[in-house]
Structure 1
Amino acid sequence: MLLDEHAPLRNRVMIKFAFTGGFRRGELLAIDETDLFFDTNEVRIDESLQYTKKKGYRFKDPKSNSFRKVTMPPDVIQEAAILLREIKKNKLLLGELWRGIDKLLLFGGDMGQPQYPTSPNTWWQRFTKRHNIKPGRLHDMRHSHATMLINQIGKVPGLNIKAISQRLGHANVQTTLNIYTHANRESDILVANAINNILKTGTF
């Protein structure tokens, strides 16, 4: 996979977390060692990283107080474990040069400090441009995650709008339903385009 071959481990794991966990950017940047539960393949979301010129970096409650635990694919969690080991090794090597705070951040900077909130998105845009991938924002991974799950309703037993809404940390189910409506609209446009192509080519 292109992402595995050319992306640094930290960025690779972050992109996979964004896509398979549907996390907000600030939530991703706030994940620390204590939020990872390797025995159950879960990630706890209890904070979000924010930066302002006035107050600098600060950790706050996630949007809409959406405290939750999200179950992740085992392979993705195992990559996070490898990344965490690399971070700890780097911390030992840097010694007094380590700039980390009281949290061992999974997606911190090279020297342990919190990442500037726009940095992951800047990296992703450069990566997609360099490898001729359709450009987009890191937040689009969250939308793709939601749409992917919504399209599985009726196919996966027990999967419903409420379960998806809780996983995404939406304030209410209506927010998720709005995405559902948007996803259905996009699907309907694709179907209409396909029908139009059939009419033009006469391939009935």
Structure 2
Amino acid sequence: MFPNQWKKSINRYYREEQVVKAKKQRQKPNDYSEEEAQQVIDALSQETRKWRLLILGSMIGGFRRGELIGLEWHNVKFDEEKGLEVENNIPLTKDGKAIEKGPKTISSYRFADMPEWYMEELALYKKEWEQERKDLGSKWEGMDREFVFHNGLGKSYYYQHPSKWWKRFCKMHNIRYITFHGLRHSMGTLLIEDDDPNVDSLLKAIQERLGHSRKSTTEDIYVHITKKVKKRTDWQV
């Protein structure tokens, strides 16, 4: 048995180690710079259309993982609006069955317009999706559900599957790994290149796109972006 003072010393050591690890983790940016985002996009060109669209849906649309795997074709607008509507969320799977919930908050119910090129590729993917369903015939397990990014048999993906795929993808293409959730935060980095240099209007646009209920949440995440905008604005004055 360890003397009590040894136990206290060991416990204190492990607590300090956890604090150091947590600080190091916070120091690592959980989003991509413009250059890193371009590296991801280049690597995605080598993947299937399904995975390319799913990953870019997070990077460009700011959608959460559960929002993407819960997306159905009736949520996709190909008309004048051209974008994706969020009204479903699959945050976990229990006993092999998807647990469906509404979006995280009231403000998470939203519509996000998407680039024309993205919607054109999504239309091509829809044709592939329809052919796949037809070829499966009685093997189709999706019933009357039409999940855009299904598991190959029509059912929604296991909730952690996109994250596991993403981790393998980063390793394969030698891309700095960030969490799947961090992908949607990279959207702000991409928006900043074309958007209004006014910090408040930019944060408002990001807040609405991400579905944050409080502006303070967006501000806390995008401190680095506000600094970048301010630097660019100061330089232009």
Q: Which residue of 2 aligns with 1:99?
A: 141
1:50 partner letter:
P
State how 1:30-41 maps to structure 2 within 5 Å: 30-39=70-79, 40-41=81-82
State which of 208, 215, 222 in structure 2 corresponds to 1:173. 215
Query: What is the CA-CA distance between 1:182 and the residue it aligns to?
Result: 4.5
Q: TM-score normalized by structure 2?
A: 0.71
Q: Which residue of 2 aligns with 1:73?
A: 115
> Which ranges in structure 1 are unaligned for 5 or more consecutive residues?
188-204
Number of residue pairs matched by the alignment: 185
- The separation in 1 between residues aligned to 2:96 and 2:138, in whole angstroms, is 25
- The separation in 1 between residues aligned to 2:210 and 2:177, in whole angstroms, is 23
Q: Which residue of 2 aligns with 1:139?
A: 181
Q: Higher Cα Rg: structure 1 or 2?
A: 2
- The separation in 1 between residues aligned to 2:200 and 2:74, in whole angstroms, is 30
CA contact (8 A) 2:69 2:157 kept: yes
State how 1:1-204 maps to structure 2 within 5 Å: 1-5=42-46, 7-39=47-79, 40-53=81-94, 56-65=97-106, 66-149=108-191, 154-155=196-197, 159-184=201-226
**Alignment deviations for residues 51-83 of structure 1 (CA, whole Å, 9 cap, x no partner):** 342683132110112111100011111111111
> Which ranges in structure 2 are unaligned for 5 or more consecutive residues?
1-41, 229-237
1:145 partner letter:
M
Query: What is the CA-CA distance between 1:44 and the residue it aligns to?
Result: 0.4
- The separation in 2 between residues aligned to 1:116 and 1:22, in whole angstroms, is 20
Query: What is the CA-CA distance between 1:175 and the residue it aligns to?
Result: 0.8
Query: What is the CA-CA distance between 1:4 and the residue it aligns to?
Result: 1.1
SS at match of 1:160: helix
CA contact (8 A) 1:147 1:179 kept: no
Query: What is the CA-CA distance between 1:101 and the residue it aligns to?
Result: 3.6
SS at match of 1:161: helix
